[in-house]
Amino acid sequence: RRHGVAAIGLAGGVFQNRNLVERLAPALRAAGFATLFGEAIACNDAGLSFGQIIEYGGRA
């Protein structure tokens, strides 16, 4: 929050681990962050690369 972050995207192969997601997402929401998950793009390294492109595009 100190840096103005309101939402956190969970992407990459590690977030295919359901146990991790089921623990981390509620903790982030309880801390006041929105959590974002890929729905149309796979939650693996390909999805991570796509997210990096979107982030870069938003900065241009």
pLDDT tens column, 14-58? 888 999 999 999 999 999 999 988 778 777 877 778 878 888 888
Say what the pLDDT of residue 13 is.
80
Q: CA-CA distance, 60 to 27, in Å (whole number)? A: 32
pLDDT > 90? residue 7: yes
Say what the pLDDT of residue 60 is.
67
Which two structure tokens, joined as six digits, stand for 23? 């623990």
